[in-house]
Chain A
């Protein structure tokens, strides 16, 4: 069990990189969720805008992640900023799409009743539509977050730090232990966060 000894002897730097990774992804996801939910809500009011936005988000996802990160370097330089921006752009689609379909799939009679009773548009959105679409929105957030944590590893390529750096170092030094430890830690964060989000999603299901 050399690998465990190896990990224990370097636990401080592994922990620091894990925390770095976590920070980058968390920041990116918070921005991504706020942006995605806002865009998702706004496009439910306009079909044309919905088509355009969903297509843009779709195209973002088809760009290879490595290329997307590299393209951001001329604009934002290297380091955390372009990494976070890249993650935000990359994880928009599942969030926007789920907010949009989650809201549009609500039984129209519920919305009609709400309108007929005299609720304003924003009250219908925040008191009826969003709570009802919440499980679907959370499913999108989960998908996006899982994607984000994985992609976060690639962001090390543009100098963002995090567990990706550990993996890249491992590759450069042909050290499989480092690669393996990096990969396992990424998976571990992914599983823990996905479970946590899943728990929240379940709790609010109707």
Chain B
């Protein structure tokens, strides 16, 4: 989708190139993270895509089209652009801010109004409340939501994001990252995302480009970068705790196990039998095979000879299939339990994750070190 061919950028009075002979292929529908320390050329690389910075030599193609052949204004109208300080126009309402590019493209008033409301809803901002507000009335997180909405307004196939969540507090940042990933699942844009935060890169990226001194040090998926850093520089950038970081990349649905049901009127012996058959330590208890009542543990079944309904425990807090393993682990700590249930939509229970599962999941990805032993 976006291709760099031997792109070089030299600034006027410097011998060293800011971007040095860059070759890069960014696939359609992927989030490609450019990560590295300040001055590594990541922002320059991004800004060459919409010609805010002109490459000294080399070619850049978007969808096979040489951007040198395209008028910069037309090029930019088809590329969403989000920056760290949001750059919202303070004298315009939120609706007018979002409508900027659609207006340039000559959309009808009606179409623009509908699109603005649709985007505000997508960003979890009530149009009735926020449409006519000015940017100064919004919190930092809300402003950046509007910034993203504005970039998405004319539905561009490509988005450039320059540390969009960098100026936010960690809690808001995490929330916006999650929201953005959720939205990206629906819209499937090709995104070039600049950050200096490797954790953000690992979390958000389908691909990561690690850059230093204008060159690409490593290009790969977050998993590849974590499990196989190209050199010292990359492993230093990742820092310690690569196992924990790996857990951040995996989701509950990858490792959760299904658990069988037992009717609440069954005896504990019958329930034990089911548990043994499936080799599990917990069973879900249902009412007439339908309504979920709770769960019973292997221990209580073995030590009490009664009907299952007397042994039901409440399921309590659950995680979702999309929760990262790291969050599952912290959930276990906060609940003080070695198991946690995974709930689907509408209160159903889809499976279970235990501490052992977590350990196994991380170990599976550590085959190299295991074979070393």
Contacts and interface: CB of A to CB of B under 8 A. Distances in A.
B83 A113 contact: yes
B76 A118 contact: yes
B104 A110 contact: no
Nearest to B134: A206
A109 B163 CA distance: 13
B125 to A, nearest CB: 19
Contacts of B72: 118
A114 interface: yes
Given A118-B101, A119-B100, A119-B104, A113 B75 contact: no
Interface residues of A, number: 18
B6 interface: no
Given A110-B90, A206-B91, A206-B134, A116 B50 contact: yes
A113 B76 contact: no
A107 interface: yes
A116 B160 contact: yes
B57 to A, nearest CB: 23
B88 interface: yes
A115 interface: yes
Interface in A108-162: 109-120, 123, 128, 131-132
Contact of A132 (B75, B90, B136): B90
B333 to A, nearest CB: 40
A118 B90 contact: no
Contacts of A120: 73
Contact of B89 (A110, A115, A116, A118): A110
Contact of B83 (A116, A123, A128, A206): A116
A109 B87 contact: yes
A114 B89 contact: yes
Nearest to A127: B89
A115 B83 CA distance: 12
A113 B104 contact: no
A117 B90 contact: no
B354 interface: no
B335 interface: no
Contacts of A118: 72-79, 101, 104
Contacts of B91: 131-132, 206
B286 interface: no
Interface string B83-95: 1111111110000
B52 interface: yes
Contacts of A110: 87-90
Nearest to A132: B91
B35 to A, nearest CB: 20
Nearest to B105: A118
Nearest to B160: A116
B4 interface: no
Contacts of B83: 109, 112-113, 116
Given A118-B77, A132-B90, A206-B91, A109 B104 contact: no
26 contacts: A109-B83, A109-B86, A110-B87, A112-B52, A112-B87, A113-B81, A113-B83, A113-B87, A114-B89, A116-B52, A116-B76, A117-B81, A117-B101, A117-B150, A118-B75, A118-B79, A118-B104, A119-B73, A119-B104, A128-B89, A131-B91, A132-B89, A132-B91, A206-B90, A206-B91, A206-B136
The 7 lowest CB-CB distance pairs between A and B, nearest first, are A113-B87, A118-B76, A116-B81, A109-B85, A118-B77, A109-B87, A131-B91
